[in-house]
Amino acid sequence: MRLSALAWLVAGALSVSAHAAEPAAMTQDPHLWLEDVEGDKALDWVRARNAVSQQQLGGDPGFEALRGELLAILDSNARIPYVGKMGEYYYNFWRDKQNPQGVWRRTTLAEYRKDEPKWEVLLDIDALGKAEGVNWVWGGANCLRPDYDRCLIDLSRGGADATVTREFDVSDKAFVKGGFERPEAKGDLGWIDIDTVYVGTDFGPGSMTSSGYPRVAKEWKRGTPMSEAKVVFEGQDSDISVGAFHDDTPGFERDFVYRGLTFYTNELYLRGADGKLTKFDLPDGAQKGVYREWLSVELRQAWEVGGEKHAAGSLLAIRLDDFLAGKRDFDVLFAPTENTSLASSGATKDHYFINVLEDVKNRIYVLTPGKDGWKREPLVGAPEFGTVSISAVDAEESNDYFMTVTDYLTPTSLLMGTIGKAPEKLKQLPAFFDASAYEINQHFATSKDGTRVPYFMVSRKDLKLDGDNPTLLYGYGGFEVSLTPSYSAGVGKAWLGDGGVYVVANIRGGGEYGPRWHQAALRENRNKAYEDFAAVAEDLIARKVTKPARLGIQGGSNGGLLMGNMTVMYPQLFGAVVCQVPLLDMYRYDKLLAGASWVAEYGDADVPGDWDFLKKYSPYHNVAKDVDYPPVLFTTSTRDDRVHPGHARKMMARMMEQGHDVTYYENIEGGHGGAANNAQSAYMSALAYTFLKQKLFEGK
């Protein structure tokens, strides 16, 4: 188990406590009642807005055909069934027309290689939901080595982040009566052995952090009440979360405690057999990983150790026993340059691998430890172009790996290989649209402060630079998330096929150039992300790809905050905005659901001085009646328990009262992804594309 992969800090619990000494303008917010997620008054308002959008967009002559095409893509049996290996079987979770909520199933490698494998269904989520009267959504399975016959399965109601966990017997294909079971909460349950688990959940008052994650980690024995579980570690209310984990790698079994201080800082402890905790003497901002005999450290800030200085974005490694003995002579597995960053890393039985972004293009390297240090070689058979990702098939048992290759126009391929040998293609998506007429180009815009900002553009090869092409510009710009090229049949069918241009901006706040790219747009410097996005828009206009009346923008979550700020800061640049599951009220964001966990990204309005810059980037507080804004479509989900639907509701209400051209749709289910099944996903996508076409294709 790689502890560095335990990035589970993305949920939260509802808190509506007020800010201390709130300014009168904030306490007089007339739309606070819309934060009552499932209140009758608020839901009546939602249904009324939905009815308007259903008529305006759902009634469009092309809507049903588009929705049907998108659903057919999502339900297609030609999609790649991605698998994970446990023991001798390869497991997959699958949704299609017959199984809208999905089935958990498995097969053998020999079957998986076939065009139409035979699958053994282990759990039917549709049947379970029907039997229990709950719209269950699959949340994943954690199975116990070495037999993988007992699993801890997570399920959520309607796609929320809050889950229940139940023990499942694979042989019996049934939940274990009297087995481990965790009630609904944002938490975690993980195996130690057949009779023991680590549990973090809502144990009652004081057991959850202000961010809504577990504050207490416990060890729970089979046959005892969860309330009697033994405390392993207790964090602070101000922490993001706390968790305990068992590493079951044969020959390297260990136990760890993880403490998330902020979204970007953490502490890691080794738990001894006597329960004693030993803290790893490593920077709080580093991402820590333990695999077999190795300790890895990925730096978010520069660090001087062992007489050496290491830049932020570097990946270091040392033998764990040496580190615990006091040695600090780390090996450098990766050091960033001006145009490279570390996208990810992982390991097989005898090798590490690193995925490097070079100007947002992937390069895979294999690192092998030896007497003379680490040998570095390119991965044999890795493509020269495209988005490439790699993961171990069974890191403890072999040097086999899965590789996924994709770009905007090439259907995604899944390959399987062994380090040192060329991989073989196992699966490939069909071409859901004819890409022969299109091309991908990378361009660079110059931001306000002179920074070069890359962006990808997908367009027809014979594109006329006449400034009249409907163009959709997508962005995110936060949390060190990189936007790399990927195949989207929906974009091809719904946008490119109708003559649109598709653009993705790699703005600051993301991870395209490592921690420095992300940190350049944190907190008071958030404007850098917005200036970068505006620069890309201006570059598209200057190059005569499009003009403001033909330029639409789209983004969700943090990207929804981006959309809100582009609307109020640069209304003259755009002809339409799709703002999905957004943050928009930056005064109250940290008091709603998981918002407190993002203070390190945005700032805290309770802290003197922070509101001075936060209010500049709070769309809800900057929208004005006398400004001509582009038309906006807001979409969200009632069941989103990560980003509160009140953000979109209140912004819609305010802009509607001011007389702006705004449309709203809220899915009653769906969680932070906005949809709980393929049908809902297709419907939400069709709404967005129909809105964009109505606004941007007018007169074409």
What span, in angstroms and rounded, lies between the C-alpha atoms of 356 and 365? 8
Q: Report which of 550, 380, 389, 346 is spatially closest to residue 466, judged by C-alpha positions.
A: 550
Question: Which residues are registered as beta bridge partners of 471?
Answer: 501, 551
* 3 state DSSP class of 136: strand
What span, in angstroms and rounded, lies between the C-alpha atoms of 170 and 438? 47
Active site residue 246: no
Residue tagged active-site, from 557, 597, 637, 681 = 557
**Relative orientation angle of helices 678-696 and 63-75, to the nearest 10 degrees:** 140
What span, in angstroms and rounded, lies between the C-alpha atoms of 5 and 291? 11
What span, in angstroms and rounded, lies between the C-alpha atoms of 211 and 213? 6
Which two three-digit tokens encode residue 657?
């009262």
Q: Which DSSP string corresponds to 554-575?
A: EEETHHHHHHHHHHHH-GGG-S
Which two three-digit tokens encode residue 82?
């991605």
65-69 LR contacts (CB < 8 Å, sep 24+)? 66/493, 66/494, 66/686, 66/689, 66/690, 67/682, 67/683, 67/686, 68/682, 69/493, 69/494
Residue matched to tokens 């999502």: 74
Dihedral of the alpha carbons of 677, 680, 683, 689, in degrees to the nearest 10: -70
Active site residue 672: yes
Residue tagged active-site, from 413, 672, 681, 685 = 672
Cβ-contact 593, 12 below 8 angstroms: yes
Q: Which helix (H) or strand (E) holds 88?
A: none
* Max Cα–Cα distance, the chain, nearest Å: 74
Active site amino acids: 557, 672
